[in-house]
Structures are given as structure tokens and as C-alpha cells.
Structure 1
Amino acid sequence: MKVIPYPVLPNRTERDYDINYLTLNFRNRQTEVSFIRALSKTYKTHTLKYRFTSIHPFHLMLLILYLIAYLLQLHNKTLNNTMIFQIVLIISCFITTSICFFIRSRGMIKLLYKDWLLYATYLSSSIILILNDSDFQDVTFSNSNILDLPSLPGLIAICMYYNSEILSSYALLFISNIVILASFALFRFMNREGLARPILEVILLGLSQIYQMVSIYISELGERKQFVEQHLILSGENEKMVSSVENDRPDFRVQDCIEELNSLLPLMQDNLKYPIEKTLSCLKSISSEYRTRLNSDINIEAITKNLDDEDKIYIQQSWSNNQILNVRKKRKLRMSAVENKAISKNLDLDAVLILKQIGVNWNVNIIDLNNRTTNSPITAAGKYVMNLYNLYEAFNIDEKIASNFFLRLEKNYKPNPYHNAMHATDILASGLYIISNSFMSNSLSELEILIVIVSHLAHDVGHPGFTNRFLINFQDKLAIQYNDISVLENMHSSLTFSIMSDPDKNILQSLEYDQYLLARKWIIELILSTDMGKHFEILGNFRMKMYTIKDFESIECKLEALKVVIKSSDIGHAAKTTDSHMHWSLLISEEFFRQGDIEKESGKPVSMYCDRDTTIIPKSQIGFLKNIALPLYETLNSFLNSSSFESHCIEQIRNNIASWELEIKAGAQLTMKESQLRTLLSVGEKASSSLQSGKSASELLVNK
């Protein structure tokens, strides 16, 4: 089979883009050809396309006007040589001009000859008007005695018609105008006794031509400079890619091919566009599949290049899959106001008011909700949002079954300092806030919002309070069961559907078969995406695809975006108020420290930031916020483009970074084991007591 290499743009230097300002052409012939092609394709979608189609009728109407004026003379005069000459010239010009316009508009000639055809039309029409002028008739025919219909108005009209139509051959325009002006002046001065009027007429026509040429010069020069700027930028980017060591990777070569085809697509003829677009689609699919496979071997060293040693180790251990380093339809969503009576059963008014903030207030006080619902935040929040989004009615879900599911889910959350039922409820509130305050609220179906609710509430069910790395290193039965792959996340998904295996607790049992299959698939994928080891893979993949709002209608984009939403919600405390964020930070630190204590007792290496004797919480949190949270939130908002998300979340992350930095400047360089934690102690006093029992200094601090 013959292999045809994909077309590439020639490598050009800045000298190849030099402009001859006199003739207004590129000195390099190939660059000139590329410019003419790009200009022609650009104007197909430009407003000049409509101007192009309107100029030609006006041009022809002008010729018809002159023809009618001559034909009207047949009633008063006999047909003579002068009359025949005028009528034949005008009719010939009309027919020739019409044919030229038709050929040019249909693209029946090569691109480079289109401007020549246009100039020929412009020049011939102007010359014929001059030849039909009475001055020429008096010189050529004796006793012409015809209607004096001057050519000057027609010449000026044609000149103005082509004010912005003639482009890419400025020298031809200049020559054409010189010929027209010289011809007009010749016959004006040959048959005039006085000089004042001919001089004024020639000046008037000359000024019209000067205005035309200046306007076209400015317009064309701007187009050429923009063309140069775009191609020099593209050339610079290509040089960087070529000089990059990673350019040897197949996906970069495919991406390079995609970019070059995209740059050539506007220059192609219409009959070639479809196969090229189909080829581009295939190449994008190949690139995406390759990068998905490659992400399992993501280069963490490049990501952590500028970090200090401790942050680098922490990210390598906790936020990548490399446990051993260098080892490789739907109905539209409808919301309704939930009456207090529908949610006030066994709940006090304060709990109801807190629930009503879900989806509205980013900083919902879940700890207070936990206290006011007798440690049942998942059940209270789950039942509330099911009513809020009309899901009971939409899928004919039995409220008792839904309540049983939420209760059993809640009971399977262990009393960990951080990964507990409050955390699950908090990320549900965070996720629904992100959705409600972006275009997603108008794009998600009822089934998709049900998937969001279940996956967010169940994403950490049964969490033992240890990391995947810990379970793998200790050869825990969970790690053995799930082959060291997303151990906890696989367990959370399995446990969720194990709960639903009981008919009395199967919240999805009323779904149609295809709906259930979709819901199961998406719930599993969303829960698995919360694996910290997949963080950079998911984030890099989402960035690479550069989704837009229009893409959100596709299933692929919607799922990828919801993965980023649940990940952002999972670390949502990073963007909460400073007091709330510091409180949650102490809780997760305590959970890490418990793991570190066990690692010490077992004689195994202590995971980064899990040693209560050496970990400085402000420093660890600054690294987490800067390297993990902020990039994730900024990536999400580059897609959402939500001003609310920017002001309430991203700005708050920056505020929290600044707060921790102030703690360090104030001298809070102490570890959790030491007793004098001045600033953190004040935070602990504000925080609600959420730990059960324990004797560690951090637990005592938070409980105080």
C-alpha cells in the first residue's frame, strides 16, 4: 500500500516574511502563495463574502444603466455607426463581466488567477466607459450627435465598488488605475477648448483612485502583518516542540500532525475538507488512547522538579500510582423548593436551615449539621437532596428504600478523624454547589444528578483511615483482594453496590435496565477517580482535551468533568473558610499521624507528613494547597468559567495559603507532639469536637 505523508508547512525564517512595501508583496514567492490562499479562505467566512456578492450586481447595474440610456435614443435618432459602437461595447462588457464574476465566484479557475480576472474586469469596464464617452466619439466618428452621458460618474462608482475587494496584488491595482486615469485624461484634453473643466475632472477621478488605493493598502498591509505574526508564533512553537526531548514520543508526533493538518485545513478546497476532518478525528482518538495508556507511567519527577524534598516525597507517595518509584436519555434536571415539613421529621429547625444551604452556600457547616442530626448527616442530606431534585418522583423511588440505603451507608463509615460520614456529606454539599453555580445545572439530567449524589456520599464508605500505600506495604487483605490497584476506591465501590444488593436498600432498583447500567458504570468511575494516585493522570488528561461548554453535551466530556468535580469536592476543605479549613486540616493530620504511629511500631518507613514528631502542619498544608488544590481548582474553573467559583473557592485557597504562611512567620514551626501551638490552639478552640476518643496531642487539641 502506498503511504502518502501528511502535508507539512515549510520551515521559514523571519527573512521569508519580509514585505516589499512598494509593491505590497512578500519577497518570498512561497510565502506570497500561502498568504493568498489563507486570505481567500478567510474571506469565505468573513463579512467581505457578502460584500463580494453585492459588488457584482451593482457593477452590472451600472453597465445596464448606460445601455438603457443609449437604447432610449433609438426613439429619437436613427441607428448609426456611433450608436452601434456604443451598444455593442456595453453589451459585450456586460456579458464578459457576468461570465468573469460567475467563474470567480464558483472557483472554476486556479486561486492565483482569480485576482488577475478581477483586475481585468475592473480595467475593461472602466476603459469601455471611457470609450463610450462623447469625447472619444467626437474624435472617432464625425457628427456623432449622441446623448452626452459622461463616463466620470461611472468611473468613480466602479472605483468605490472595488474599494476593499481588490487584495493581494497591489501593483496590478496601481497599474490599472494609471491606465484608466491616463486614458480618461487623453480624451478629455483632446477635444476640449478650455482646460479648467478637464483638469478638475481628472483631479476628481485621481482623488477617487488615491482614496481607493490608500484604503486597500492599509487593509492589505494589516492582513499581511497579521499573517506574519501568526506564522512566526506557530513556527516558534514548532521549534520548541522539535527541540524537546519528549518530541520523540509517538503521541507528540501524532499531535504535531494534528496541529499541522489543522493549520492547513482552511487552505484546502471544499472537496478535500471532509476526508481531512475525518483523518483529524482518527488521529485525535489515537492520541487520546495512547496518552491514557501512557498516564500510568506519568513522569512525577518532572511535576515535582521545583518542590522541596519533603513535598516531593509526599506527592510521589500519595498522589501518584507509582507506589515504588520509577515502576511503571435522560430527562432534564428540575429543582423544586423543599417544604420544611418534608424534611423536618425528627430534625430541629436549625438542622433544616443548614440543609437548605446545600447547593447555595459553599461553606455549609456540616459539623453543626452532624451534631443537630444526632450523627446522621448523610441520611439527612441524602433525603433532602432527593426531594430537592425531584428524584423520588422522577424514578419512582420508594422513600423508605432510599432512607434505608442512606442509613446503611452511614453506618458503614467508620469513626475516623477525617474520613467519616461528615466528610462524605461535606463533599456532596461541595459538589452540588459547584454544579448549581455553573452551566452544569442546566446540562445535567435527573439520572446524572442521582449518580452524583450516590457517588459523592459513597466515595469513602468503609474507609479504614489508612492510605493505599499503607495497605499495600502491609500486604493488607484489601490490597491483596484488589491487586494493589486503587485498593480503597475499589473497596468503596464494591461496598456501595453490596449495600444495594439488599432489595430494601437498593436505591437504583426502580431504574430501567439501561439506566441502571449507566448509573453503575458512572458511580464506579467517579469513585475510582478519587484515588489520589490517579490525580495527575486525570488532571493532565482533562487539560489536554481542552473541553469547552459545547463539548459538555457529549458523554465523554460530561464524565470527565464530573470526575474533576468529585476530586475538587473531595479536597473541598482547601477552599473553605480559614477556620473550617484549619479544622479539617488538623483532622486529616491526626489520621495521618495514627498511620505513622503504626508504621513506626512496625519498623517500616513512615510515610511523608505522617510523623507526628517531625511534621510541621503549616508547611505541609502550604505544599498541599499550592501543588495539589490550587492547580486542580484553576483547571476546573478554566472549563466552568464561573465567577462564583472563582471568588468563593479559588480566592479562598489563596487566602488559606496566606494564612498558613502567616502562621509560619508568627513562629508556628512546632509539631503536633509539642505542647505550645499558639495559633493552632486558637483554631482548635473554635472547632467543634468531632473525634471519639484518643490520647494523642492532636486529638486533645481539636477536642479542646
Structure 2
Amino acid sequence: MFIEQRGSLNKEYTVIVYSCLYFVTGLIIIVTDPEVILLFENSSKKHVNSSYFLLFLLTLLGSKYLIKMKTLYFILSYILLVIAFVLGIHKNETVYHHTITFCLLIVYIYFNSLEIKSAKEMYQVLLTEEASVVKTLQPNTPLEEILTEIHNGIDKIASISKNTPATVQKIHRRIVKLLQNIAAKMQSTNNLYMPRLELVTKNMDADDKIYIEQECFDNQQIPDKNPDIGIIERKVVEYGISELAGFLKGIGKEWNFNSFFVSGCCKTPATVIGKYAIKMYGLDEIFSISDSVLEVFLNDIENKYPDNPYHNSTHAADVMSSFAYFLTNSKLSDSMTSIEWLGGLVACLGHDVGHPGKNNRFLVMTNHKIAVTYNDISVLEMMHASIIFKVLSNNTMNIFASLQADKFIQVRKLIIDMILATDLSKHFDILSYMRTKYNETSDISVREIRGDLLRLCLKSADVGHAAKSIELHERWCFLIIEEFFAQGDLEKQKGLAVSMYCDRETTNIPKSQVGFIRNIVFSLFTTLNSILASDEIENACLNQLKQNERYWESLAKQRNLSTVQKASKAKNESSFFPLLKRMTIRKGSLPPLCSRKVTKEFNMND
């Protein structure tokens, strides 16, 4: 009989004991065979019983216990079988019977050895799994919990597989291998949501690949105690200038809100639009923000915006308007709290404050003091968030003064997270994370989920001009290109490699816009609306985005513009940048020009 308590023996001793017991048992079966006994007694008496039946049972048991000894099992079984055959054919009348039985047992032992091979592989899988489980016995993170569940599943499969046929065990082994590969990949990945450059740029042309690599991956290569107050109703804010007040009512309602119009009127678009929005949602009353504190805060933020072609206070105001549109025209409006509204608006207004008109890559490559201050990590975004809270540290400008400590920490985190999300080098990381984690059934009543969505909303609003009407989009496009070219000129002066789409001599403007819309903006908007499921966003934004892409494609094909000089020629001869032909844009019912004094005369309480 086989020993059952195998755990008390070491591996080598167990192998020897099992082998000896197996062989000795087989010999005993053979020598106790009546046919063999008659051989030694010289008797002619016939017996029906044969040792082959017992040898069959022995080889069956051997295949279950000698898992790690396939070759030894094979050799010992055949030795026993040969001995039984030789001793059993001493009489001519039994030769045929013994030969047939002998052949059948040979075949049986061969297939049993194959089963042992399969069992041995499963055994090795279990040994490997046993070693890896030690690492996740006490899960401390969600990833470790998932790995533990995978290991537990493998254990269950192994326990079920022990007494199953070889074909079933083969299927089990494939499942176990698959689970092990999944666990290994999860353990070896630093960030499950981090995209791979070669996959992201797989179907892009050469220029777009370089741009995406520089802008979106370059930084990876270069060194509640108190409940929130609920949603507030929109209020109509009356202004001294009724024409402007009527125009501002479009904030949050009209996707193609024209921030250039406000900028042309009062020269302080961020202050005017920001103040109107905060009062429209009643946030000044909820958080006890006086007009003087709000005015000083917004003015200080606006004054810290340099006079860049694109990254200026008009852009900040436009982003805030687009952000408000996303919120008010989606299911987010039903779950947003007042503190999220205020924090979101402030993040929009200050998301590019202090921007020098150069991108992160340039600042890092030139060892700029901003890059040195923020250790080459999201340097501009870090600076923008820091400036906002430096302004708020002044009591005369602190619009969050009424908040308790825990609420201030909450809104500070929200603002920082939203602004850091605008770093283009994190673009594909964030998209991968949002696509993997959320869909239209996600519960946006959970604050953490809303926080992630607000990050995505600001990201979308930041590049939202690409989904505006062609007139607005073209004007914004011209401004950002001018800023790019200024950086390219400076890079040439410093002897640096000119960043992609920053060379005014070679940049194909329509082609660059097609790539930007197709590779950056469209995926961002589709991801956002796959969660918000807003018909308004689909119709106003995504449809216009497709139209704008076709517009640039047609220009690229018709004009074949390869340089900015060709673009300028086309601008004068055709519809390329049609807005640049006009010094002003339509001002609605407002007079054609407004004095800067309008700002001083502008009274929010009138």
C-alpha cells in the first residue's frame, strides 16, 4: 500500500520510497499469480485468475502518485510487465492470451505516461503559483486584491483538475497559463493606464508622430465633515450696459460663445465673464464673497496673464465658457455641488495664468527658471496652480475665506488636479484611464468620479476652439500658430532643434490642424461624451469637429500648402483665414468700439 503522509518526507526520499514500493508491489503481484506458482510446482492445474488484472490496477495507481517521475514510472512498469509475460507463457495454451493482454497493457502504460506528463506540467504550474502567492497574501492595494483573486482562482482550478481526464487538464492548464500571464503583466506594469507611444502613433504620418512624441510623451524622456450645498439655480445678472448683459447670457448656453467680442469691448474678458458666471450661479452669495474681493481677485488673475497671441486672458475666458457649456448641457449639472462649480470656474480662469508663450518642452530644454523651480515635471501647469493659490493667500483676494479647512483642502485639490490634467504630456495617460474606468453608466453622484470628469471637461475646453464654428476656430488657430512660430524663431536663435509645427518656413498649417483634430481633440471629445452621453455635446461639438477636420483636409488638398508663405498668399487670394481680412468682428447690438473706461463703469450690482 502507498504511503499517504507524503508531506513528512523530503523530496528525494519520497521518490525512492515510492519507486521501491511500486516495484516491490508489482513483483509480489507477479509471484503470487496462480499461473506463476504452478510453474514452480510443475502442476497442470488451470486457474482463471491472472496477475495482469492486478498489474493494471497497480499501473493506474502509479500514474496518480508518481507525478514527478514519468520516466521512472515508464521503466518500472515495463520491467514488471516483461517479467509477468515471461513467467506466464510457460504453457503453450496460454501464450495467445498472455500476448494479447501484454500488448494491451503496453499501450495502456504508454497513455498513462502521457497523462503523467500533463499532470507534471500542472504540478510545475502549482509550484510556480505557490511561490507567487506568497507575495500577495496580505493585499494592501486594489491591484494586490486583484492579483490575490487571480491566484485564488488558479488554486481552485488546480484543485478541480486533480481528478479529471488529461484532455480536461490540458484546458485547465491553458486557463491557468492565461491567468498567470495576466497577473505577470499587471505586476510588471508601472501604470496600467499608461499608453505606449508606438501604439498611439501607429497610424499617424511622420510629422504628426513627431509632434505627438514631443508634446505628449517628451516629458517621460527628459530628465467631508460638512455636506456641500446643493446645486443653485441660474440667475439673470443685470449690468449697466444692457447690450453686454444680454450677450453674456449665452455663457453655458451657447457653444460658440464669442469671447473675442467681450475682449473687444472691455479688454478684461476674464474678469467680466468670470464675475458674471460666479454671480449667475449664485456662488458669491453661497460663499459670502463680497464684490470687492471678487473684483480684486479676478483682476489680479487677469493682470498676471502676459500679452501672448493665444495664451492670454481671452483664452481663459473662452475656456471657462466652454467648460460651463459641458456642465450645463450634460447630466453633470444634476450632480454638481456649489464648491465644485466655484472650484471649476476658478481653475478655468487661472489654468494658463502666467503663461510665457512657450511650451513645457522649450522651458525644459533651455533650463528655464520655471523648469528648474518645478523639476521639469508639468512645469507650466504647476506654475499656473501655484500662482492661483499665491493670489488666494492674500486676504483681500481670498474668495474661499468662508470655507472651513476641510472644504478648502477639497477645492484646492480639485483646482490643482484640473489644471495639471491640461498638461499635454499626460493626454494619452488620462484618456486611457478614463476609457478604461468609466462609461455612460458610471455613477457621477460619487465625488471622485465627478472630479475625474471635471478634469476631462477642462482638458476638452482647453482645446475646445477646434470644435467651434469655423470662423472662431480659424481665428484661434491663427493665434496659436503665431505663438508656435515665435517659439520656433527663438529656438533657431538658440541653436535648438525647432519643435514640430513651430517652423514658420516649413509648417503646413492645414495638415497640422488635421493632425491635431484627428489625433488629439477628436479622441478627447469622444471620450468625454462616451461618459456624459449628451446630445448637445454630440450635435454642437463633435459634429462641428468633424466638419472642421474636413475643412482643413480640403484646404490641404486644394492648396497643397507647405509653408506659411503659401498660407499667407492663400489668405489674400481665397478664404484661408478669412477673419484676418477684417480688423474687427461683429459686435451684435453693441457699438463698434468701446473705451477701456467701460471696465471702470461696469457695475455688477446695477
- Residue of 311, 316, 320 corresponding to 2:213: 316
- Residue of 425, 430, 445 corresponding to 1:538: 430
- Residue of 320, 329, 337 corresponding to 2:235: 337
- Residue of 229, 248, 256 corresponding to 1:363: 256
Q: Deviations over 1:47-71 (max 9, x none)?
A: xxxxxxxxxxxxxxxxxxxxxxxxx
Per-residue deviation at 1:291?
Answer: 10
- Residue of 452, 457, 482 corresponding to 2:349: 457
8 Å CA contact 1:583–1:687 kept in 2: the answer is no
Per the alignment, residue 551 of structure 1 pairs with: 443
1:643 and 1:259 mapped to 2: Cα distance?
A: 44
Per-residue deviation at 1:296?
Answer: 8.7
C-alpha RMSD of matched pairs (Å): 2.8
Per the alignment, residue 340 of structure 2 pairs with: 448
Per the alignment, residue 595 of structure 1 pairs with: 487
Task: Classify 1:404/1:549 alpha carbon distance in 2 versus 1 (closer, same or farther; 3 Å).
Answer: farther
Gaps of 5+ in 1: 1-249, 265-285, 690-704
8 Å CA contact 2:382–2:420 kept in 1: the answer is yes
After superposition, residues 496-511 of structure 1 pair within 5 angstroms as 496-511=388-403
Per the alignment, residue 538 of structure 2 pairs with: 646
Per-residue deviation at 1:556?
Answer: 1.9
- Residue of 369, 377, 382 corresponding to 1:485: 377
Aligned length: 410
Per the alignment, residue 632 of structure 1 pairs with: 524
8 Å CA contact 2:194–2:429 kept in 1: the answer is no
Per-residue deviation at 1:632?
Answer: 0.6
1:551 and 1:255 mapped to 2: Cα distance?
A: 25
Aligned: 1:301 with 2:171: no
2:143 and 2:211 mapped to 1: Cα distance?
A: 29
Per the alignment, residue 86 of structure 1 pairs with: none
Per-residue deviation at 1:253?
Answer: 12
Q: Larger RCO: Structure 1 or Structure 2 (Cα < 8 Å, ≥ 6 residues apart)?
A: 2
Per-residue deviation at 1:667?
Answer: 1.0
8 Å CA contact 2:237–2:280 kept in 1: the answer is no
Per-residue deviation at 1:393?
Answer: 1.2
8 Å CA contact 1:333–1:445 kept in 2: the answer is yes
Per the alignment, residue 285 of structure 2 pairs with: 393
After superposition, residues 400-415 of structure 1 pair within 5 angstroms as 400-415=292-307
2:330 and 2:151 mapped to 1: Cα distance?
A: 31
Gaps of 5+ in 2: 1-141, 157-182, 586-606
Q: Deviations over 1:431-478 (max 9, x none)?
A: 000000001111001111001110000000000000000000000001
2:425 and 2:380 mapped to 1: Cα distance?
A: 11
Per-residue deviation at 1:687?
Answer: 6.8
Identity of aligned residues (%): 39
Per-residue deviation at 1:307?
Answer: 0.7
* AA in 2 matched with 1:602: K
Task: Classify 1:415/1:259 alpha carbon distance in 2 versus 1 (closer, same or farther; 3 Å).
Answer: farther
2:542 and 2:258 mapped to 1: Cα distance?
A: 19
Q: Deviations over 1:35-88 (max 9, x none)?
A: xxxxxxxxxxxxxxxxxxxxxxxxxxxxxxxxxxxxxxxxxxxxxxxxxxxxxx
Aligned: 1:684 with 2:580: yes
* AA in 2 matched with 1:679: S
Per the alignment, residue 525 of structure 1 pairs with: 417
Per-residue deviation at 1:505?
Answer: 0.7
* AA in 1 matched with 2:429: E
Task: Classify 1:640/1:473 alpha carbon distance in 2 versus 1 (closer, same or farther; 3 Å).
Answer: same
Per-residue deviation at 1:501?
Answer: 1.3
2:189 and 2:368 mapped to 1: Cα distance?
A: 29
Per the alignment, residue 475 of structure 1 pairs with: 367
Task: Name the SS for the 1:331 alignment partner.
Answer: coil
Per the alignment, residue 209 of structure 1 pairs with: none
* AA in 1 matched with 2:251: I
Per-residue deviation at 1:654?
Answer: 0.1
2:554 and 2:484 mapped to 1: Cα distance?
A: 24
Task: Name the SS for the 1:510 alignment partner.
Answer: coil
8 Å CA contact 2:352–2:381 kept in 1: the answer is yes
1:413 and 1:308 mapped to 2: Cα distance?
A: 35
Per-residue deviation at 1:338?
Answer: 1.6
* AA in 1 matched with 2:353: V
Per the alignment, residue 41 of structure 1 pairs with: none
8 Å CA contact 2:485–2:502 kept in 1: the answer is yes
Q: Deviations over 1:391-411 (max 9, x none)?
A: 111111112101110000000
